[in-house]
Amino acid sequence: MSKVPPSQDQPDDVDDQYRRASALDPSRPSEAVRRAVLAHAAQLVAKRATRDEGSMIKSTRRAVNQAWWRPAILGTLAAAALAGLMVAPRFLALRPPPAAATPSAPDTRTDERAASAPAVGPGSAAKPRASTRGADMPTDRARPKGNAPASDALAPPRAAMDAGLEARQRAPSIDSATTSIAAVPRPGAAVTPTDAPVDRAAAFRRAAEIGDLSGLKALLEKQVDIDSRDAMGRTALMLATLHGQTNEVAVLLAHGADPNAADADGTTPLQAAKAGDHPVIVTALQRYGAR
C-alpha cells in the first residue's frame, strides 16, 4: 500500500462507486434498535422535564431562602447594632455623676429633658407641647436625653414602651405622646388633611406590611405612633411579622415597638411569627421580650 503515491488521489470516482454500492447494500439497523433509540430519546426528554421541574422548585426555594436569610441576618445585625447604640448611652448617662450627685439630680434631669425635648423630640407640630409634656412626665420616665443619639428620639426606651405606649394608645387624650395626641384633632391644631396622623399611622402600618423599609423609617422620623392599630387591632409590628418582613420587624423592635402587642383576637406577634414559620422574627421578638 505504501507503494501507492498519495498524489494519485481521485476521491470522486471511489466515492461515487462507494455510494452506488452502499445504495445496494441491504443491511439496515434492526427495527428493534430504531424503536429502542427513539423511545429512549423520548423518555430522556420526559425525565429531564421532571428533573427540571424539581430543580426549578429547589432553586426557587433556594432563592427564596437566600432572599429570606440574607436580609434576615442583616436585619438582625442591624437591630442588634441599633439596640447597642440605644442602650449603651443610656447606661452611661444613667450613672450618677460622682461629684455632683445630689437628691435633686433626677429633677434636674427631668428639667433638662423638658428643656431639650423640642430639640430631640418630634416635629415642629409637637414643639409647643414640649414643656407641658415634660412637666407631666412621670419621674421614672424622665431620662437624660442630652447625650442620646439622634435615633434615640425615634426609639423610646423599653420601660417607656411598656409603661407608656399602651396607655398612650388606650387613652390618647393623655398628653404623653405627640402622635397619639395629634391623632385626635384639637381646636387650633395645624394638621393638614394629607398629613393627618391617622393617615400617617395607616401608611406606617402599610409600609411595615409590604416591607417598605425606607417609607417605614421616614414615618418613624415623623413620630408616627409606632404601636398604632388597624381595625383588627394589628400593630405595624404584627403586620410586618405576619408578612415575614424581617427588616421591618427589626427596625420596629429597635425603635421600641411593643413586642407583645396582641391583635383583637389576642394573637401576639410571637405567636404569629411561629405560626408563619418565621424563625428569625421569632428570635428577634424573643430578644425584645416577646412572650
Partner 1 sequence: MTDAGESDEALIGRYARGDAAAFVPLYRRHEMRVWRYLERNVGNRATTDELMQEVWFAVARDAVRYEPTARFTTWLFTIARNRMIDSIRTSRQQVSLETVGYEAELVVQQLTTEPNAGPLAAVVVRDQAAALTQALGQLPREQRDAFLLQIEGDLSVEEVATITQSSFETTKSRLRYARTKLRELLSEYA
Interface residues toward partner 1, by CB under 8 A: 1-2, 4, 6-11, 13-15, 17-22, 24-30, 32-34, 36-38, 40-42, 44-46, 48-49, 52
Give the residue with the Cβ less far from partner 1, 38 or 171.
38
Cell 397619639 -> residue:
180
Whole-Å CA distances, 176 to 47, 107, 110, 168, 284: 67, 18, 14, 6, 28
C-alpha cell at 256: 421600641
Instruction: Closer to partner 1 by CB, 10 or 214: give it.
Output: 10
Closest separation in Å from C-beta 60 to partner 1: 19
Residue among 1 and 190 whose Cβ is closer to partner 1 = 1
Q: How many Å separate Cα 153 from the centre of its chain?
A: 21
Residue 196's identity, in one-letter code, is A
Taking the complex as a whole, the smallest distance from the CB of residue 42 to partner 1 amounts, in Å, to: 4
Q: Cβ closer to partner 1: 19 or 95?
A: 19
CA 252 to each of CA 21, 123, 227: distance values in angstroms, whole numbers, following the listed order: 85, 19, 9
Backbone angles phi, psi at 6, to 5 degrees: -60, -25
Closest to partner 1 by CB, 4 vs 101, is 4
DSSP 8-state assignment for residue 277: T
Q: How far is the CB of 47 from partner 1 (least distance, A)?
A: 10
Q: How far apart are CA 229 and CA 220, in angstroms?
A: 15
Q: Which residues contact 232 (CB under 8 A, 6 or more apart)?
A: 263, 264, 265
Q: Which is nearer to partner 1, 5 or 193 (CB)?
A: 5
Q: How far is the CB of 2 from partner 1 (least distance, A)?
A: 8
* Nearest distance in Å: CB 64, partner 1: 25
Distance in Å, CB of 61 to partner 1, minimum: 22
Going by C-alpha positions, the residue among 102, 119, 162 that lies closest to residue 138 is 162
Spatial distance between the Cα atoms of 272 and 245, rounded to a whole number of angstroms: 12
